[in-house]
Structure 1
């Protein structure tokens, strides 16, 4: 199923439809509704990136950059990240500032808590 958005009005209508489907709850959606939701979400993301200019100008190039981006998106502080990872705040600070290399526990935690792609983490560790 393909969904196209060609105007702000169509974008707004699509977003209303997406929110309505999401409010039903994923478990209550039919297979057709799930397919429709996926197509609308992809079209909305494309419209946001290409027309509204919401795509980041620069993709994160380091673990520190991607962690900071994910923390910003989730409104998470370094202290909260440290607590969730089960490590000290100073260790998180040192890793993000480049004074210390990330260890396996840190990388696994980032993957699990911030949903950072494991391949990206391994390539940049």
Structure 2
């Protein structure tokens, strides 16, 4: 596989994306192993550029952190409630700031969602 080239400009990024689109337009059954490797190399370059350009700020609230973890884990709110061992109604109240989180809930957020304990303490 070829070396991943660093993308430094928006024009270079657009060019790489056009190359990826062109190769992918052939269809998965019509690309060679070399073309698949090229797609992967180009995609890694584009991903590195995007990660430098589009920095997402960390959540600044406990509910924001919980919602981010829910998104990352691809959980629906009802599934998250089950994982945190609370009712969906209680989870909704906590996320909307209408009910304070209790210690058991905060422990579950730490253990089940892997939210740093210091972050939790600073945001309750």
Q: Shorter-chain-normalised TM-score: which range?
A: 0.5 to 0.7
Q: Which has the higher contact order (CA 8 A, sep 6+)?
A: 2
Residues 1:124 and 1:15: Cα distance change in structure 2 (over 3 Å): same
- For these two proteins, the number of residue pairs brought into alignment is 93
Gaps of 5+ in 1: 17-44
Q: Which structure 1 residue ranges, 4+ long, deviate > 3 Å from structure 2?
A: 12-16, 45-48
Deviations 1:78-110 (A, max 9, x none): 111111122111111110000011111111111
Q: Deviation at 1:47?
A: 4.8
Gaps of 5+ in 2: 8-12, 17-39
Residues 1:14 and 1:89: Cα distance change in structure 2 (over 3 Å): same
TM-score normalized by the length of structure 2: 0.60
Residues 1:111 and 1:5: Cα distance change in structure 2 (over 3 Å): farther
TM-score normalized by the length of structure 1: 0.60
Deviations 1:16-74 (A, max 9, x none): 7xxxxxxxxxxxxxxxxxxxxxxxxxxxx8754314x2x21x32111111111110111
Residues 1:108 and 1:5: Cα distance change in structure 2 (over 3 Å): farther
Residues 1:14 and 1:117: Cα distance change in structure 2 (over 3 Å): farther
| Correspondence 1:90 to 2:92 | no
3-state SS of paired residue (1:79) = helix
1:49 alignment partner in structure 2:
51
Greater Rg over alpha carbons, structure? 2
2:63 alignment partner in structure 1:
64
Structure 2: distance between partners of 1:5 and 1:114:
35
